[in-house]
Amino acid sequence: MRESVSFFRDVADMTNDPDAAQASLSIGFAPGLVFLSFLGTLVGYMLQVFAWNGALREADGVRPSLGSFFRAPHLGAALLTAVVLGIAATVVSYVPFGGLAWPLFTVFALLVTIDHGATAFGAIGTSFRLVGKNFGSVFLLLLTLVGINIVGALALVVGLLVTIPLSTLAVAYAFRRITGGTIV
């Protein structure tokens, strides 16, 4: 009991002493954690690029093998596109409705980079044009996929193992259809 009273007294003392409060907050920051966070984000982007590449190969009628899953054309450009998309998504999330509009209009950006080898900003511009010309169908597709993924999450999250790959394939097929690519 005495220890808990001592703890609360120490917390009260820190609130009265700004230097002590600042020192306690600075202990939690570690440059290694920032590096690990960046590394984890980069690995996540790589997995996303590999998944989109697999979906495009599937749309081509080529069954991707495990080895081909980890090979993606234009990997460097695709990673740069993913980083630019992530940073821009953070910035536009502060704009009203920006957090909704940005993912809608950039849904095809990584696919453009992987499939056509476009630069990051070129792919984003192409994605904006593709979605702008086909807004209704892309919006309905994404809205349907959100609904499907919500149902997958409600199925004890195990349903997401089915709905997320299905959503990835659906977007890849839509990309091929909109760009006039071949779908097998």
- Mean pLDDT lowest among 4-13, 74-83, 121-130, 175-184: 4-13
Percentage of the chain lying above the pLDDT 70 cut: 84
Q: Note the Cα 145 to chain centre separation in Å.
A: 15
Q: What is the DSSP string of 127-151?
A: HHHHHHHTHHHHHHHHHHHHHHHHH
pLDDT of residue 38: 86
Looking at this protein, which amino acid is placed at residue 5?
A: V
Report residue 105 as tokens: 């209009």
Domain ranges for the chain = 2-179
H or E segment and range at residue 134: none
pTM: predicted TM-score of the whole model, two decimal places: 0.79
Who wins on pLDDT, 114 or 6?
A: 114
pLDDT for 184 beyond 90: no
* Structure confidence at residue 30 as a pLDDT band (50, 70, 90): confident
Average pLDDT over residues 90-107: 94
Average pLDDT over residues 111-137: 96
pLDDT of residue 109: 97
Who wins on pLDDT, 75 or 29?
A: 75
pLDDT for 121 beyond 90: yes
pLDDT of residue 5: 46
- Dist CA 33 CA 24 (whole Å): 17
pLDDT in tens, 35-76: 888 899 999 999 999 999 999 999 988 887 888 878 888 999
Q: How many CB atoms lie within 10 A of CB 13?
A: 11
